[in-house]
């Protein structure tokens, strides 16, 4: 696999994960009750709103997808960095054996 292609896919996964995490937090924020002085009836009325329930129902899976893409980004980035460091280590070792300079 080409390192630049793997790094590009990991970068896109990282960018998409940030977007999905922001969207998920925005959707779930709509459902929250932040004001402690709200009456119980206002809180229940707010929770029974179909639009807010739909936003929460969509927000949680979007949050899970964002976390999954973030893990894919981290794994892909680590794999590429491991390959690059392995290639540099191999080149340095072979040059030491042949007494050449790494440039």
Residue 93, CB-side half-sphere exposure with 13 Å CA sphere: 6
Kindly tell me if the per-residue pLDDT of 103 is higher than 70. Answer: no
In the prediction, which pLDDT does 27 show? 86
52 band by pLDDT with thresholds 50, 70 and 90: confident
List pLDDT tens digits, range 3-48: 678 778 888 888 999 999 999 988 888 777 667 777 888 877 777 7
Count Cβ atoms within 10 A of the Cβ of residue 82 and give its class: 0-12 exposed, 13-18 middle, 19 or more buried: exposed
In the prediction, which pLDDT does 65 show? 93
pLDDT-above-70 percentage for the chain: 78
């Amino acid at each position: 696999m080409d390192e630049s292609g793997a790094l590009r896919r990991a970068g896109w996964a990282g960018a998409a994960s940030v977007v999905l995490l922001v969207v998920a937090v925005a959707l779930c924020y709509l459902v929250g009750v932040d004001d402690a002085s709200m009456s119980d009836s206002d809180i229940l009325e707010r929770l029974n709103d179909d639009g807010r329930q739909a936003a929460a129902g969509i927000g949680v899976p979007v949050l899970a997808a964002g976390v999954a893409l973030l893990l894919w980004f981290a794994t892909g980035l680590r794999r590429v960095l491991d390959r690059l460091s392995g290639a540099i280590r191999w080149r340095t070792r072979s040059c030491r054996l042949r007494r050449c300079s790494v440039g």
